Chains A and B, each alone.
Chain A
Amino acid sequence: MHGFRFSVHLATYLLISILPTTASAADGPCSVKNRGAAVVVMVCPARLSVEALRAAGIQGCKDRKVCNAWIWDDAAKAPAKSVDTDQDLPKSATGSARAVWISEGGQLMELQRAR
């Protein structure tokens, strides 16, 4: 019985330890995949509204003004490595991005390709 209680406590402790990390990595429905000096790579669910994308971008850039948050709706297509500038993003990846939040001007550039 002690062994069972210990396991339950351990599981609870592990859950509590893990949950805050997960919550900070996934703000709302989106998550930050990687972060460079001026570029944040994010992944959001497909068919997210413009408002939700905007909110995700703001959250991704946090308080950084010089920041472009690139958002993909397919995690496999988002760049795996962090980059510091937009020009460092591979063209093969930017072609499939869903949107870019331009923090400096407070603009969302929607890039959704017609499919």
Chain B
Amino acid sequence: MSISKTIRRAAIGLALSASALLANAVPTTQLGFLIDASGSIGSSNFSTMRSGYSAALAALPTDGSIEVTVYTFASATSVVVAPTVVTAATLPGIVAAINGMVYTAGSTNTSAGIAAISGAMLGSTDYSAGLRSIINIATDGVPNDGAAAIAAAVAAEAAGIDALTAEAIGSIDFNFLRDIVFSPLTGGPCNDCGVILADGATPPNPMTSAPWILTVSDFNDFPTAINAKVQAIIVDPPTGVPEPGSIALMGAALGLLAMARRRKS
């Protein structure tokens, strides 16, 4: 085997190692799903929501770039999925947990839900200030205490959650949601700054848009809506900054390729 061939093989090997390293990157995004399981939802509609979440989360990338947290809320909150990095190994368990989530019924303690899921995400071992931390809330009713929900959203934003968006399902008076949603564009929750998106609209990435509420006129439309929301986040990933180790590997590979080419000519 000639020297140039050896060098070329080594370069390809190094390049593959570099891409493998990038594929197993640390999470860049935390996705939190807060699901209304209160009495007004009803078990049949909750089942439709469950199917929607199951399908949407099953389509998440398994390269380790996403961490998922899922909570339900009614009178109290329940953990469905504690903060878990999505990989090929963990995804089946995440989907199984979604399929097994229980409809509780009860009142709409939105503030407890926001406080619980925010605390879980911010307390995760994967959390860092540079991470995109996004909470999505799906609800069909006004909270027990609107001011409390705003206070919880304000605290969540100040503590490090980057964006909170919402799906307003059915004939809900969604004005309160306009007060609790937020995004990096507007900073903390502000009075009426949430943008209302029409049913069926393609939601923009919440990290780069004004905070929004996606209206979902019917529970049957929810699976499509939640999938569109998840896709809006994952197909528009942040501009990745390769880790120093990966840069060094890629540099070495490129250098070896250049050497091989020079020898050939």
Contacts and interface: CB of A to CB of B under 8 A. Distances in A.
A102 B124 contact: no
A104 B123 contact: no
B157 A102 contact: no
Given A104-B145, A107-B112, A95 B154 contact: no
B115 A86 contact: no
Interface residues of B, number: 29
Interface in B173-212: 187-188
Contacts of A100: 115, 155, 159
B7 interface: no
A94 B119 contact: no
B120 to A, nearest CB: 8
Contacts of A97: 159
A7 interface: no
Interface of A: 66, 68, 85-87, 89, 91, 94-95, 97, 99-100, 102-114
A86 B151 CA distance: 9
B69 interface: no
Interface of B: 109, 111-112, 115-116, 118-119, 122-125, 127, 129, 145, 147-152, 154-160, 187-188
Closest 8 CB pairs of A and B: A105-B148, A105-B111, A86-B158, A104-B151, A107-B115, A114-B125, A109-B115, A110-B119
Given A94-B160, A105-B145, A107-B148, 7 more contacts: A87-B154, A91-B160, A104-B148, A105-B152, A107-B112, A111-B119, A114-B125
A106 to B, nearest CB: 8
Given A107-B148, A109-B155, A114-B123, A91 B112 contact: no
Contact of B159 (A85, A94, A106, A114): A94
A79 B151 CA distance: 20
Given A105-B149, A107-B152, A87 B119 contact: no
24 contacts: A86-B188, A87-B188, A91-B160, A95-B160, A100-B155, A102-B152, A102-B155, A103-B151, A104-B147, A104-B148, A104-B150, A104-B152, A105-B109, A105-B112, A105-B145, A105-B148, A107-B116, A107-B152, A109-B119, A109-B152, A111-B123, A113-B123, A114-B123, A114-B124
